[in-house]
Chain A
Amino acid sequence: DTAVSQTPKYLVTQMGNDKSIKCEQNLGHDTMYWYKQDSKKFLKIMFSYNNKELIINETVPNRFSPKSPDKAHLNLHINSLELGDSAVYFCASSQEGSGNTIYFGEGSWLTVV
Chain B
Amino acid sequence: GDSVTQMEGPVTLSEEAFLTINCTYTATGYPSLFWYVQYPGEGLQLLLKATKADDKGSNKGFEATYRKETTSFHLEKGSVQVSDSAVYFCALSDSAGNMLTFGGGTRLMVKP
Residues of A within 8 A of B (CB): 31, 33, 35, 40-45, 48, 50, 55-56, 90, 92, 94, 96-107
Q: Interface stretch among B15-23, B77-85, B89-97?
A: B89-97
In angstroms, Cα B38 to Cα A45, docked, is 17
In angstroms, Cα B89 to Cα A44, docked, is 12
- Additional A-B contacts beyond A45-B100, A105-B43 (20; CB < 8 A): A35-B100, A40-B104, A43-B102, A48-B98, A50-B98, A55-B98, A90-B44, A98-B30, A98-B51, A98-B94, A98-B96, A99-B32, A99-B93, A99-B97, A102-B34, A102-B46, A102-B100, A104-B44, A106-B43, A107-B42
In angstroms, Cα B97 to Cα A5, docked, is 22
Q: Which residue of B lies closest to A94 (CB)?
A: B97
List residues of chain A with CB within 8 A of the CB of B49: 99, 101
Contact indicator B42/A31 (Cβ below 8 Å): no
List residues of chain A with CB within 8 A of the CB of B30: 98
Contact indicator A98/B93 (Cβ below 8 Å): yes
Of B51, B101, B102, B107, the contact of A99 (CB 8 Å cutoff): B51
B87 within 8 Å of A (CB atoms): yes
Interface residues of chain B: helix, strand, loop or mixed (majority) = strand
Closest beta carbon of chain B to A82's beta carbon, Å: 24
Of A41, A48, A104, the contact of B99 (CB 8 Å cutoff): A48
User: How large, as a class, is the contact surface on chain B?
Assistant: 20 to 34
Contact indicator B99/A45 (Cβ below 8 Å): yes
Closest beta carbon of chain B to A30's beta carbon, Å: 11
A–B pairs, 6, beta carbons within 8 Å: A43-B44, A50-B98, A90-B44, A94-B97, A98-B95, A99-B49
Contact indicator A43/B89 (Cβ below 8 Å): yes
List residues of chain B with CB within 8 A of the CB of A105: 43
Contact indicator A41/B104 (Cβ below 8 Å): yes
Of B94, B99, B104, the contact of A33 (CB 8 Å cutoff): B99
Residues of B17-56 whose CB lies within 8 A of A: 30, 32, 34, 36, 38, 42-46, 49, 51
Contact indicator B97/A107 (Cβ below 8 Å): no
Closest beta carbon of chain A to B103's beta carbon, Å: 9
